[in-house]
Amino acid sequence: MNVTVFGSGYVGLVTAACLARMGNYVLCVDIDADRVRRLEQGEVPIREEGLDPIVADALDNGHLRFTTDGAAGVAHGELQFIAVGTPSAEDGSADLSAVMAVARTIGEHMDDYRLVINKSTVPVGTAERVRQEISTRLAERGVTVEFDVASNPEFLKEGVAVEDFMKPDRIIVGCDSERARTLMTELYAPFNRLNDRLIVMDARSAELAKYAANAMLATKISLMNEFANIAERVGADIDHVRQGIGSDPRIGYHFIYPGTGYGGSCFPKDVSALEHISRESGHEPKILRAVQDVNQRQKHRLVERIREHFDGKLAGRTFALWGLAFKPGTDDMREAPSRVIMEALWEAGARVQAHDPAAMPRTQELYGEREDLKLYEHPLSALDGADALVIVTEWHVFRSPDFSEIRSRLAEPVIFDGRNIFEPARVTAEGLSYYSIGRNPVLKT
């Protein structure tokens, strides 16, 4: 099938590459000329496991091309994916300017049937807005062209997005025509062979399903962090609590790990957008507001523990930070807890020595050169002379360290673990004090 994908970010590029891998002819459109140039040379600008070789193969065999020419994109694909960004506006709503710009381009150039597919995460009713925008442009041109609009929300986790696309647990399609349904069924057939993962519904339900899924997962995270804060105050161990509730199949173990709060491009933005949608419809979303409030507070919890340990005297101290990305497997630092923690330490007059396996270039882009931030290629090097180690992202490389080496490099033997990746008894046996989330601090003897 001939497919056009507008947008070459996380969602757009993964969608384009994976569809091309299955033999479709995909043209990916982006307004960023430099990004397109790099992609044409096989340079993938995002870190996503398995994406680089798929893009390289598809470029080599001609199944994937890139362009800045929107008209060429409209001419190419019977299926037109909109996979552009929908960042949060100041009021928390989703900014649809990029989505509507693509719809406008399609309406200005289409001269044959097109199925327009919203892949971006968009508010309920966006499919209708896209349909109206295209119809308006066609009317201005004085032409009549048949088209359909469908919603096909993405459920891709950063770091494993390729695997999620290739082996989906569900494929949601919101449409109201048999032609659109047939085309979407054909497109996704290679990803849907062993079990029928395709769920067809109306567009409004598909749009809400995406927001509801992310809000549900964000709620589990915030609720678990709320439990962790209670556990600290009553002397319980949140890891034992997690095992006790996770063994209940109605709850399960997914997304019930306490930590420094969620970040990234999806949960914060989508919960805020759903809050806005709810209020606009006349309903006050009290749980969604609490989810966001708990998450923002949780990002400061590790700094609170650091302040308590050092009696509030952080000025002039140096802290080693392991982990900058909002989660392992990506270099994405949007809404990352590390940013809140570093900025709080800097405000208190402290310095940061950081390491991350992927996100240090992003950190450099965000903060530039500054005297109170040094980035190290090796995690142990970041420890030298630091007053404490602060663990923010649970990369695998951090899970089995040489604790004696950590102790010898730190000026003061103390670890603040925002992801509970170590057993307290093991750490203290190595002569280090240990603070974690939802568990009592254990001080070295």
**Per-residue tokens: 186:** 């054909």
Phi-psi region of 111 (alpha: psi -120 to 50; beta: other; left: phi over 0): alpha
The answer to whether 407 and 422 are in contact (CB under 8 A) is no
Rounded CA separation 337/324 (Å): 8
d(CA 170, CA 196): 8
Distance separating alpha carbons of residues 184 and 160, to the nearest angstrom: 23
**How far apart (Å, rounded) are the C-alpha atoms in residues 219 and 227?**
12
266 tagged catalytic: yes
Instruction: Give the alpha-carbon dihedral of 391, 394, 395, 399, to 10 degrees.
Output: 80
Q: How far apart are CA 409 and CA 84, in angstroms?
A: 45
SS3 content of the chain, % helix, strand, coil (to 5): 45, 15, 40
- φ, ψ at 67 (rounded to 5°): -160, 160
The CB density around residue 379, as the number of other CB atoms within 10 Å, is 22
Nearest of 277, 275, 296 to residue 287 by alpha carbon: 275
Catalytic residue among 18, 28, 175, 266: 266
Which of these, 257, 265, 82, 55, lies nearest to 157 by C-alpha position?
Answer: 265
State how far the Cα of 96 lies from the Cα of 115, in Å rounded to an integer: 19
Residues serving a catalytic function are: 266
